[in-house]
A and B are shown apart, each in its own frame.
Chain A
């Protein structure tokens, strides 16, 4: 009995707040229909922090402790993970799910913990005056919609008059996000927009693609995630839809999305917010993390599109931590300091090269008024013979003329609903 009591007490002491750690929760999903995307992202996210610990002894001399929590892309489990990890001193959450993000926005605001929803989540969180601790740099869904349309404008000599664009979307908050932007863009550029919903998880898309076959749109845009992407690309191949006219957003453009369709997927295009070439940092991860057996997953995803994006997300978080440490002159930062660091984040080409990832993303800086970054994205195309993505364009800027008023409108509606007075102090 005495031994048991001692053990329990020791456990309680160990479980208490441990100082000298930068705690980063990783709400990952390695199970369920979205695991194909969740695994490489989480591997990249964790491996980069492991690299920092191994190479530099953490950030500013303080080691990073990553706590992984499985959500299965499920909002209830996401909330449980948030509650379970926030007491450990979590600095920033990266839930990689628009549904969970919507849950966490009010909770994180009440707890004062920043959220980084990189290229997903609530688009109008780009307005930092309303969403004080939510950040969606470097780009968001409405940017993605606009980048895709701008790319099509380029291809068609600046006019989409009379063209038809179909949007195949995941029937959830995630998939519905770009619709309003695309509607505004369609009235601006004179193309017809058809929206076609695919229900969770998206394994059954025969009727949707039959509709596309009947309506023969000039282009198909896709807002898909998880198993939905693979099925859509296969179905597009089945109806012989020209692949070069089929563009996915940046969550529908990874290797595992196109390989199941084999050679038929050749020419499929997708957006991307990070570069996909080989980078020096991968060699460091290979030698110091994977060869040392400290990798998060099985180590096979190194260098893939979503691994790179997860690593990019970790890099942005690490840079924000370093910025916060500089600003406050305090190596062990709090979530509030982390928020300040994220708001003062500045990513330059020189810094990215220094970190061993030149050109991984566009240069951008964050301010209180703009939590959204540059919003730029590039277009890549799948080469099935070589099994690699080919970058087609430079970073394309979105149409701020259309997006800025939408962000203003939506964020102000949120501010009014929740009694927030927009402002920077």
Chain B
């Protein structure tokens, strides 16, 4: 009834090719943005920022990045943790080397550096694919973590090998360091996340995204119709790593404030982001958000329900979490390989046909 195309006339090509062709979707989009920008910053506290919103937004950026590579371009990558580490260490080196430059520029530059590193590690994708490419990116993961542990220049020769973010501010408001207000942390992540999502959405709707999807669906056919595999694959690696690098930089500077590479950016981080896009939905920007929200919220929700309400021992709840996440991944792979995004798509389809869906 509310959710339909009828009566919403498109009179120009711009209107016709907009992201949300259905009026209801557009209003919902603006409503979500309005709540995110105008309501949440005023009610957020330390717990909600640090346990829910900031990690959700940062992981959403990482999931968008990985989804471009795996979901849109079909190149399997297990190097996400390593690329996040590149973003974090690049941001740290820039922050300490040029303290007068704005943190926003540092985060974007960190993304750029990660894009270069990602493109470098994407070179093998021109010759190998599938499982073999996964192993090559796994090598990137281990090599990068080893590098940041081994070469003390990266952590400014500190005795502990930890990097910690000095205090930096945007428009006079601290966004990193100890004195940061929860809403400032949230806002900087939200701004980066929104811009990343808009860029990613439009890239995947345009010719670049179509080239990636052509490569994903059948690389030989794509080559025959004139898609250059070198440029398509490397651009997917670069763009994907750019977003992953931004998320790594924010993860270190805004969220944790101090990281240790092996612990924060280990192989389990690569898998976590991969699970996010599998559960959320491969090849969908919405799926990246849904998957990130799911994987961030699930442990928190289980803990609140299990420990705080039901009074189970903490270790039982922690073990249950592993069981539930494992089971969900299997269920999704079997029952709904396209993830939460597909459920959302189906729901929308039914709504359009309501009251007579089939």
> Complex formed: what's the CA distance from A35 to B257 in Å?
25
> Complex formed: what's the CA distance from A395 to B317 in Å?
41
Residues of chain B contacted by A72 (CB below 8 angstroms): 318
| Interface residue stretch chosen among A175-183, A207-215, A281-289, A378-386 | A175-183
Main secondary structure of the interface of B (DSSP, over half): helix
Whether a CB of chain A sits under 8 angstroms from the CB of B166 is: yes
- Nearest-neighbour CB distance to chain A for B324, whole angstroms, equals 14
B263 touches A172 (CB 8 A): yes
Whether a CB of chain B sits under 8 angstroms from the CB of A83 is: yes
Whether a CB of chain B sits under 8 angstroms from the CB of A110 is: yes
B161 touches A31 (CB 8 A): no
Decide yes or no: A76 and B55 within 8 Å by CB, A102-B160, A417-B166 being known contacts: yes
B50 touches A30 (CB 8 A): no
Residues of chain A contacted by B164 (CB below 8 angstroms): 102, 106, 417
Contact string against B for A residues 99-128, beta-carbon threshold 8 Å, 1 for contact and 0 otherwise: 100110011011000000000001000000
Tell me which of A31, A103, A109, A110 contacts B256 (CB under 8 A): A103
Per the 8 Å Cβ criterion, residues 343-391 of A in contact with B are none
Number of residue pairs A-B, CB distance < 8 angstroms: 99
B262 touches A103 (CB 8 A): no
Per the 8 Å Cβ criterion, residues 305-321 of B in contact with A are 307, 313-315, 317-319
Chain A residues touching B, range:
35 or more
Tell me which of B160, B178, B303 contacts A173 (CB under 8 A): B160
A176 touches B259 (CB 8 A): no
Residues of chain A contacted by B50 (CB below 8 angstroms): 79-80, 83
Whether a CB of chain B sits under 8 angstroms from the CB of A410 is: yes
> Complex formed: what's the CA distance from A340 to B262 in Å?
36
Whether a CB of chain B sits under 8 angstroms from the CB of A84 is: yes
> Complex formed: what's the CA distance from A59 to B171 in Å?
48
- List the A residue with the shortest CB-CB distance to B179: A110
Most chain B beta-carbon contacts within 10 A, residue among A70, A72, A74: A70
- Nearest-neighbour CB distance to chain B for A228, whole angstroms, equals 12
Whether a CB of chain B sits under 8 angstroms from the CB of A171 is: yes
A70 touches B314 (CB 8 A): yes
> Complex formed: what's the CA distance from A98 to B46 in Å?
22
Whether a CB of chain A sits under 8 angstroms from the CB of B169 is: no
- Nearest-neighbour CB distance to chain A for B276, whole angstroms, equals 15
Whether a CB of chain A sits under 8 angstroms from the CB of B300 is: yes
Contact string against A for B residues 219-242, beta-carbon threshold 8 Å, 1 for contact and 0 otherwise: 000000000000000000000000
B166 touches A200 (CB 8 A): no
B315 touches A103 (CB 8 A): no
Per the 8 Å Cβ criterion, residues 247-272 of A in contact with B are none
> Complex formed: what's the CA distance from A2 to B303 in Å?
27
Contact string against A for B residues 254-289, beta-carbon threshold 8 Å, 1 for contact and 0 otherwise: 001111101110100000000000000000000000
Tell me which of B47, B258, B318 contacts A83 (CB under 8 A): B47
Most chain B beta-carbon contacts within 10 A, residue among A30, A98, A102, A410: A102
Binding site for A on B (CB under 8 A): 46-47, 50-51, 55, 149, 159-162, 164, 166-167, 177-179, 256-260, 262-264, 266, 299-300, 303, 307, 313-315, 317-319
Given contacts A98-B160, A418-B167, A418-B177, 5 further A-B contacts (CB under 8 A): A30-B318, A69-B307, A80-B51, A83-B50, A410-B159
